[in-house]
Amino acid sequence: MPFFTRSRCSWLSLRSIIGWLSLCLALFVLPGCSAVKLGYNQLPTLSYWWLDSYVDFDSTQTTQVRAQLATLLAKHRQEELPLYAQTLSQLQVMVAAPISAEQMCQVYTDLQPRVQTLVDQLEAPIAAMAPSFKAKQLQELARQLEKGSQKLRDEWLDGTPSERREVRVKRWVDRTEMIYGSLNSAQVGVLRAGMETSIFNPDLSLRESRRRQEDLLRTLRLIQAGGLSPAQSKTEVQGLLQRSLNSPDPLYAAYMDKMRQEYCQVLAQLHNSTSTAQKRHAVERLKDYEVDLRALHLTKP
């Protein structure tokens, strides 16, 4: 669920860029409302630093990327923030009462157009930037991607299955407590039970991560090599972005659909176990986010 998800900068693929930007722009990754305005206004700079750590932009690219990120944020501020604020308003009504798994999944479905909008806005800037990459920069990108892959392997495959499961439980506790406040032992037990029966498959996830990385490098190298018209480059980037959002691997696509349903079921069970005070905490937290989003929409950085 988007409002329970944190940014994971170790996801090293084009999808990581999309996900990181879209989640940050949605502002559901921030720990408290006092950080929302500051964090949102700093997104162009933070995003630039993050991207630069992968490819080491030259001075001309730096100017171009910074300008594109600033333009993207300005457009997002005016056009998208009111839509996120509206979603938050609707969520406040929803979390005040019992919730079904279907309602939880509908939140995810309803937010997909917002992600798609961001993807559409990224097509032209990436297509324009890709021809300027030097071979050395793409080599550095490949090196950084491999480092990230190793981190994921260490994170997901190290330790016993029980130890890895407890790490996942702790993360979900941290995420849900951002919304509901402190969970009691029974509520933590709901999350643990969900993780114990989960179909989570790190090998399949790592394989998909590798596919996305290879797809990103292949596409950038194709455009960087020259020979494509601007329209052809944009078509290549469009395909890359769509494959990053929707895997062409039917096995992985089916797996992710089942995982979403699984998470929706667990989160609905958790929500329905919360007290009146916890539900009120969730409403107040979402209301604070909504207020900040509406204020950001009306102000300039």
Alpha-carbon torsion, ordered 184, 190, 192, 196, to 10 deg: 170
pLDDT value of residue 37 = 66
For tokens 């037990």, the residue is 189
Residue-wise pLDDT for 20-57, tens only, equals 444 444 433 333 434 566 677 777 887 888 889 889 99
Q: How confident is the model at residue 95 (pLDDT cuts 50, 70, 90)?
A: very high
Residue-wise pLDDT for 96-111, tens only, equals 999 999 999 988 888 8
Share of the chain above pLDDT 70, in %: 87
pLDDT value of residue 148 = 86
Share of the chain above pLDDT 90, in %: 50
How confident is the prediction for the chain on average, in pLDDT? 84
Query: Mean pLDDT lowest for which of 113-122, 209-218, 223-232?
Result: 113-122
d(CA 47, CA 52): 8
pLDDT value of residue 300 = 73
CA angle at 277 for the pair 271 and 279, rounded to the nearest 5°: 35
Residue-wise pLDDT for 131-140, tens only, equals 999 999 999 9
Mean pLDDT of 273-297: 92
Q: Kindly tell me if the per-residue pLDDT of 3 is higher than 90.
A: no
Instruction: Extract the tokens encoding 203.
Output: 């090998």
pLDDT value of residue 72 = 87
For helices 135-157 and 43-55, give the axis angle rounded to 10 degrees.
100
- Going 257 to 260 to 265 to 266, the CA torsion angle's sign is positive
Mean pLDDT of 204-223: 93
Mean pLDDT of 114-130: 87
Instruction: Extract the tokens encoding 195.
Output: 């993780």
d(CA 217, CA 276): 50
Q: Kindly tell me if the per-residue pLDDT of 60 is higher than 60.
A: yes
Q: What share of the chain is helix, strand, coil (3-state, %, to 5)?
A: 80, 0, 20
Would residue 226 be called left, alpha or beta, if left means φ above 0 and alpha means ψ between -120 and 50 degrees?
left
Which sequence spans correspond to the domains of the chain? 2-298
pTM (two decimals): 0.84
Query: Mean pLDDT lowest for which of 54-68, 106-120, 211-225?
Result: 106-120
